[in-house]
Amino acid sequence: MAYALGKCESVWEYFNLTKPIKGVVLLQTKFNCGYANIHANTIIIVNSMDTIRVNGPCYTESAQVSDSVIVSHYENDNSAGALGDGKYDCSIRKTCYGLIKKIR
């Protein structure tokens, strides 16, 4: 399992995406991409009762708060870790690897 450059990564509950899912972006952290081989971190509201963290490659599409997106499966590439976001590190536990694409 990758380590986070934030706190509480040890409580993240990883799951595999079996099919693409739609959601709305709550936060995306990509500002340290390129510093080391680190995953981007995107918090997505999947439905009114479920919010997840998506770790993915830094080349994943940039998204803004309230953007509608599709998350598709991405195999962990053994990058150095995932960026913590400071705000949701401990409260959002459900985590997967995925590629983000905005719905136009």
Tens of pLDDT, residue by residue over 35-55, are 566 677 889 999 878 999 998
Q: For residues 60 and 93, give the distance between their C-alpha atoms in angstroms, rounded to a whole number.
A: 21
Structural domain for 33, as ranges? 3-102
For the chain, residues with pLDDT lower than 50 are 1-4
Number of domains in the chain: 1
| pLDDT on residue 94 | 94
How many helices (DSSP H) and strands (DSSP E) are in the chain?
A: 0, 8
Query: What's the pLDDT at 47?
Result: 86
Domain CATH for 46: 2.40.50
Q: Rounded to whole angstroms, how far apart are CA atoms 92 and 27?
A: 12
Residue 6: what pLDDT?
A: 59
Give the HSE-up count for residue 11: Cα atoms under 13 Å, Cβ half-sphere. Answer: 10
How far apart are alpha carbons 86 and 98 in whole angstroms?
A: 20
Can you give the pTM of this predicted structure? Answer: 0.83
CA 42-99-94 angle, to 5 degrees, is: 50
